[in-house]
């Protein structure tokens, strides 16, 4: 389970996160929605130990990231698909990550299959990858340790419609196998088809946290724009 507990983050006079609290249960997908600058990436970076909170906590199975031994085997993450050494091949990138976290190298082939990267593609250097291929590689790396939690920032970015459907099916299968999946996205239609819950954030505050059982893509889009537009007007 992923838990954000009264999380606040200030950068000087700027309040990036304002008392953010929500949970991502095991065996579920939570869509984290909000406009650029709303606080989504900041919250994820705090969860993954990249940034310190001003107050509050973000935990995975009750522990902060720094307290988890071999955290990559507990929580898989993709925040920036471009943050990969361009001179390595895809297979080399995954083999090195597998060695670092201590998983069998055979897992590399398994995750490549899961994300739909062929053997030939995995032997190419990353500098020749499209954005969609880098996204697939990043998701593969996040899955290497068979983590109990998965944190993905815009995982469908750069993917064609077929790739988006494949990633959606993969994440649904991972969640159904027991993983807590948190993903940020601006693709409201895709979130409506995949997520069990939706958390909407605006200007660092949680505006809505709801299940998606009875929510259509159109309902979600209407509600999202209504909430975020109201928040923008109130801050003006």
Give me the residues of the chain with pLDDT under 50, please.
236
pLDDT of res. 81: 83
If you ran DSSP here, which 8-state letter would residue 214 be given? T
Q: How far apart are CA 190 and CA 220, in angstroms?
A: 11
Q: Are residues 50 and 105 in the same domain?
A: no
**Residues paired with residue 153 on neighbouring β-strands, in sequence order:** 184
pLDDT of res. 189: 79
Question: Domain end: 112, 131, 146, which one?
Answer: 146
Q: Are residues 39 and 63 in the same domain?
A: yes
Question: Domain end: 101, 121, 146, which one?
Answer: 146
pLDDT of res. 233: 58
Q: Are residues 114 and 40 in the same domain?
A: no
Structural domain contains residue 80 = no
* Six-digit token string for 205: 């505050």
- Answer for the pair 78, 153: CB distance below 8 angstroms, yes or no: yes
* Six-digit token string for 115: 């994300």
Q: How far apart are CA 152 and CA 138, in angstroms?
A: 9
**Domain range spanning residue 131?**
85-146
70-115 pLDDT per residue, tens: 898 899 999 988 888 999 999 999 999 999 999 999 999 999 999 9
* Six-digit token string for 36: 């650029």
CA distances to 24, 43, 59 from 67, in Å: 19, 18, 10
pLDDT of res. 215: 66
Q: Do you know the residue count of the chain?
A: 236
Structural domain contains residue 96 = yes
pLDDT of res. 228: 84
CA distances to 90, 114, 138, 168 from 94, in Å: 6, 13, 9, 22
Q: Are residues 226 and 138 in the same domain?
A: no
CATH number at residue 202: 3.40.50.300
155: closest CA among 170, 167, 144? 167
């Amino acid at each position: 389970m992923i838990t954000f507990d009264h999380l606040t983050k200030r950068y000087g006079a700027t309040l990036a996160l304002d008392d953010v609290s929500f949970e991502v249960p095991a065996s579920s997908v939570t869509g984290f929605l909000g406009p650029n600058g709303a606080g989504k990436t900041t919250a994820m970076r705090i969860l993954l130990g990249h940034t310190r909170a001003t107050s509050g906590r973000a935990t995975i199975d009750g522990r902060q990231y720094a307290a988890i031994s071999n955290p990559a085997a507990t929580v898989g993450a993709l925040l920036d698909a471009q943050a990969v050494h361009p001179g390595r091949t895809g297979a080399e990138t995954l083999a090195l990550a597998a060695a670092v976290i201590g998983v069998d190298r055979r897992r590399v082939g398994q995750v490549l299959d899961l994300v739909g990267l062929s053997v030939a593609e995995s032997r190419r250097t990353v500098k020749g990858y499209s954005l969609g291929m880098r996204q697939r590689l990043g998701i593969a790396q996040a899955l290497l340790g068979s983590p109990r939690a998965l944190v993905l920032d815009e995982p469908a970015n750069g993917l064609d419609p077929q790739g988006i459907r494949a990633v959606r099916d993969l994440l649904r299968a991972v969640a159904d196998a027991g993983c807590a999946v948190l993903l940020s996205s601006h693709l409201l239609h895709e979130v409506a088809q995949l997520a069990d819950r939706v958390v909407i954030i605006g200007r660092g505050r949680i505006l809505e946290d709801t299940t998606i059982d009875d929510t259509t893509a159109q309902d979600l889009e209407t509600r999202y724009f209504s909430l975020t537009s109201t928040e923008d007007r109130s801050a003006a």
